[in-house]
Structure 1
């Protein structure tokens, strides 16, 4: 006889993730074992410290409040409604519940036995990942790495190893570094290289890399007689050292080497020259497989002769991005590769524009990319945000020199616009006199912003905290960074004001019932992902890392990962924020590709249940880090 109740349960479950990933036979098997439970309003399903049940729950009708006791005060963590899953802790580990679930209204629940469900999860990675997301979204510890390990018993995540994705495998690096000091002679270093059979030696100072000497350096300096063989290393070493953290992909290493015309990359603890050197990647270590798309694109960018060529390459880059998103490649890899390709495009445009000028630059300068490109988070083609800093000159020469760089900037921004990077609506571009300044003028500008911190000053200065050099003399931007850190370190009121500003867009934590949408205008009833989610978490990372005067880390996810190292007591929160920043970036990219726009505004009705769960988890992290800001900076009220 047919079990019509089980059929109705199966029909309901298959409408929601992760049950939509199951085969029909598996759904029927589960549905046959489901217990249908009716609960009255106020009924407790399970409570904190209670032994875990042998089942978890799906809301069929009604709503369930998820709560915890925070030092005697009941705090609502979440509200589950139709299709939501809760009570997952026993699926991950034999532990007592850490939250309480209580019926917010009359409800009907489906109780699913863990014994029959868990084997299916272990055979379906996508199901497992969704359940981890769901579990994390209604717990007090949003970061779920430990829960992944519990569910999969320490197994490493499956990663496609096809030739198509070979480029995203981690590049092999040598851990046994051969190093020297600045004061050693080239002869002694050459002997080291010969004895250790290596082609490079890292120059170390306080455990950090300050230079590198390679076979090529010896050929170009010693072999041609430029210096005697007993000269000290600091005279012939290459600097600064290009550094990355562990996990740099083959593709990323390749395009970095081509971009900077180098054959070695130093691996450091945090990926910057300011931390301990732990290894080195050589060109020999990253012999490429066939069809390495990022490398092909990088070569095409460097060989381009026309803006039209770069525009065509840009369309291929977007195809590459779409492929990465479809293959669910980790955003850490995707964002770094896209940054390098974007950065190389900007650099090539500047090179070509200089050739179109009537003369070479009169003084040294640096082109600074701001905003998402400065944070290495620009995946889609968005507005231009850039500026120029040039070497100080005599007062009587200043305007003539500025006019040169303004003319250059107009050529660059025009070509970038033709490629697909829209002009900034606020004209925050190097072609604007306000953003084309000498080093001295920039220092004075930051001093005014920081010491006279009004709303406009805070907005402008926060944008410039995220700059990255795309072309030119890095010494100019380094000196500017040193000035900024010195100024902020001496003006605590400014940092407090910056923290206050970071709280102006509170997290839309009440996701299902209290979604903050636009109330009027072109995007009425749409959700502003940038304003409500991406900006708050970006602003929080910026102000928190500023306290520690950390240089060379502008990316939001990397800032939170660095904060997790600096503040072990808040590690779980910061890692959850790092995850959230990458998840939001991916969500915006998917929406942008889908609708052929910036991905900023979302029509809520188009979201799947799985997407809502992922966003809900991100909102929880934003809420928690904003609470930390309130406490740390003693903020009691804000607009």
Structure 2
């Protein structure tokens, strides 16, 4: 079925992104299109064959399937397909077949790639994986490894305070790290020397270990500048050593930081860290929605925004623990307050409830329970006052089931892994996201490693976890539409949390289980899965890009609601999006569905 030049020009004028191209560019492009007529139920191309070019449907219908034969798109006129393969290595990553008599317009591969390289509108529409122009670096988005001093001043434990002071003076620095080999043992600052040595009248041959802060707080190089600032303001410290696997690799001081974009969140952290009670903290946390607006408006990536917002919840939790211990007295045995859910993964947005547990030292006895019951009640009620509402499923440390000694927690995980019924799958999924917040973090470290090891070895449990991860599906409908909610308060909307973000969270958790990866944050899990070979580089990058788009769409939606004077939520009406936004959001859901399909068919690595 031929198509003349004028008809082709008129048709392209109705299709984005060609409608945004200069007339002379469109005119030069017309000869690069080849018409292809196919009857119904004919193959357009099969998996892994070289692609002729980009396919644009003029009339008819096409079904696109993944490598497992699962249909992921039903396309009609003005829809394009084949771009993912062209932008990789020119080979198809899906299969396509007509479902009605169709006229396709095939834009040659060379012409398409030239358009992507030279026309911003085409680049933006087809190549969403291409990184945006880098912004000016700021504290909120800069990784610690780019901010830290990489040659911190160090000395061995036997060094005297006089020698340490001389070394600091020679280097013109205000701190010295005490190390044994590469292992960090402590840190001493000018303030320590002046206050403890000079002020305390200690002799100059006093070992530096007598005045140092032993086992100081550290951060990894992968942290961001705001993590440093928040730690400094909450703990009232001016120096943060940077360590990787207990090995000192750098240091950051207050003079290394400018407060820039993160200042707003840092002010909230400082205010909460020194608040006298939960009501005062609540006045600070009430400003979180406006902080969300500011962070999104500044163009911060979603993982930065959620990290900053989660830092506030972490600080609130630790402050409430301190206030509770001040009221109740010191704990009778060591304990760990850990968060799961979005706080555990450092993925909180403007809408968050609380999910937390208490892990107690095995020296715990039942006569101590009243203390921890009161401690949990003080903290969970305080969090509720601060806007972190009680968990509807009672997944909180105030529930006796989730306030237990370490040995009981080991039994919990052992039973969940050994008998993976639906409740066990759900609980294991939640508990795999545990992260230490306050107390003794070592109570979780061995438990997490033991659990990952045992779970990964149990193929039946892994299979159940895979099945459980496929219960949340992307909201894909036919004809490049969305499967929206059909009735009720959120009719004609999609749930960007349970149908958008959660499917990727579930995938990340399974990949972490398969690879015995300790990361808890979803994006960190996906990156670790790619590095470990659990997820292929190409499939993993597709999933990262899809997750970024879905998560950022969710944050932008919440910010828009706050700006409109409404409470943030996760329900988005696709009709409020532009054609461009709808197209790319749906493409992101297609990627997630493809990875789910691959996982469900026992193919964790999607090429």
User: TM-score, with normalisation over the residues of structure 2?
Assistant: 0.79
Mapped to 1, the partners of 2:500 and 2:469 lie a distance apart of 11
Query: Which residue does the alignment assign to 2:79?
Result: 84
1:158 matches 2:128: no
Mapped to 1, the partners of 2:417 and 2:185 lie a distance apart of 31
Q: 1:236 aligns with which of 202, 212, 219?
A: 212
Secondary structure, aligned partner of 2:127: helix
- What per-residue deviation string (whole Å, max 9, x for no partner) do you get for residues 51-70 of structure 1? 865xx5544543345578x7
Mapped to 2, the partners of 1:335 and 1:112 lie a distance apart of 41
Mapped to 2, the partners of 1:239 and 1:411 lie a distance apart of 29
1:380 matches 2:354: no
Query: Which residue does the alignment assign to 1:141?
Result: none
1:12 matches 2:14: yes
CA gap of 1:6–1:570, structure 2 versus 1, over 3 A, is closer
Secondary structure, aligned partner of 1:631: coil
CA gap of 1:539–1:77, structure 2 versus 1, over 3 A, is closer
1:423 Cα shift? 1.6
Q: 1:317 aligns with which of 271, 277, 288?
A: 288
1:409 matches 2:380: no
Output the aligned Cα RMSD. Answer: 4.5
1:216 Cα shift? 4.5
1:436 matches 2:407: no
1:128 matches 2:142: no
Secondary structure, aligned partner of 1:12: coil
Query: Which residue does the alignment assign to 1:563?
Result: 529
1:464 Cα shift? 1.6
1:204-603 correspondence to structure 2 within 5 Å:
211-218=186-193, 224=200, 229=205, 231=207, 233=209, 236-246=212-222, 248-267=223-242, 273-274=244-245, 277-289=248-260, 292-355=263-326, 357=327, 359-393=329-363, 395=365, 398-399=366-367, 401-478=368-445, 480-481=447-448, 484-485=451-452, 488=455, 493-505=460-472, 512=479, 526-551=493-518, 553-567=519-533, 570-594=536-560, 596=566, 599-603=569-573
1:421 Cα shift? 1.9
1:611 matches 2:582: yes
1:132 Cα shift? 0.8
**Contact (CA 8 Å) 1:540, 1:629: kept in 2 or not?**
no
Secondary structure, aligned partner of 2:267: helix
1:466 Cα shift? 1.1
Mapped to 2, the partners of 1:587 and 1:617 lie a distance apart of 11
Q: Note the residue ranges of structure 2 that are not aligned, 5 or more in a row.
A: none
**Contact (CA 8 Å) 2:272, 2:284: kept in 1 or not?**
yes
1:173 matches 2:143: no
Secondary structure, aligned partner of 1:177: coil
Query: Which residue does the alignment assign to 2:39?
Result: 41
Secondary structure, aligned partner of 1:469: strand
Secondary structure, aligned partner of 1:576: helix
**Contact (CA 8 Å) 2:505, 2:522: kept in 1 or not?**
yes
Query: Which residue does the alignment assign to 1:637?
Result: none
- What per-residue deviation string (whole Å, max 9, x for no partner) do you get for residues 509-566 of structure 1? 7764686566777656654444444333323322332355444x21011011122222
1:97-116 correspondence to structure 2 within 5 Å:
97-98=91-92, 103-107=98-102
CA gap of 1:478–1:462, structure 2 versus 1, over 3 A, is same
CA gap of 1:496–1:237, structure 2 versus 1, over 3 A, is farther
- What per-residue deviation string (whole Å, max 9, x for no partner) do you get for residues 482-525 of structure 1? 55456546756544443343344456677646865667776566
Moved more, 537-546 or 184-193: 184-193
Mapped to 2, the partners of 1:349 and 1:77 lie a distance apart of 48
Moved more, 112-121 or 576-585: 112-121
Secondary structure, aligned partner of 1:611: helix
Mapped to 2, the partners of 1:579 and 1:206 lie a distance apart of 41
Mapped to 1, the partners of 2:601 and 2:489 lie a distance apart of 33
1:620 matches 2:591: yes
CA gap of 1:327–1:90, structure 2 versus 1, over 3 A, is same
Aligned pair count reads 587
Mapped to 2, the partners of 1:7 and 1:52 lie a distance apart of 21
**Contact (CA 8 Å) 2:147, 2:256: kept in 1 or not?**
yes
Mapped to 1, the partners of 2:90 and 2:446 lie a distance apart of 54
Secondary structure, aligned partner of 2:251: strand
Secondary structure, aligned partner of 2:287: helix
Mapped to 2, the partners of 1:113 and 1:345 lie a distance apart of 57
Mapped to 1, the partners of 2:575 and 2:549 lie a distance apart of 20
- What per-residue deviation string (whole Å, max 9, x for no partner) do you get for residues 342-380 of structure 1? 22233334434545x354544443322211100001112
Moved more, 114-123 or 417-426: 114-123
1:245 Cα shift? 2.9
Secondary structure, aligned partner of 1:367: strand
Secondary structure, aligned partner of 2:357: strand
User: TM-score, with normalisation over the residues of structure 1?
Assistant: 0.75
CA gap of 1:369–1:290, structure 2 versus 1, over 3 A, is closer
Secondary structure, aligned partner of 1:373: helix
**Contact (CA 8 Å) 1:212, 1:241: kept in 2 or not?**
no
Mapped to 2, the partners of 1:52 and 1:364 lie a distance apart of 65
Secondary structure, aligned partner of 2:438: strand
**Contact (CA 8 Å) 1:509, 1:616: kept in 2 or not?**
no
CA gap of 1:238–1:499, structure 2 versus 1, over 3 A, is farther
**Contact (CA 8 Å) 2:351, 2:569: kept in 1 or not?**
no
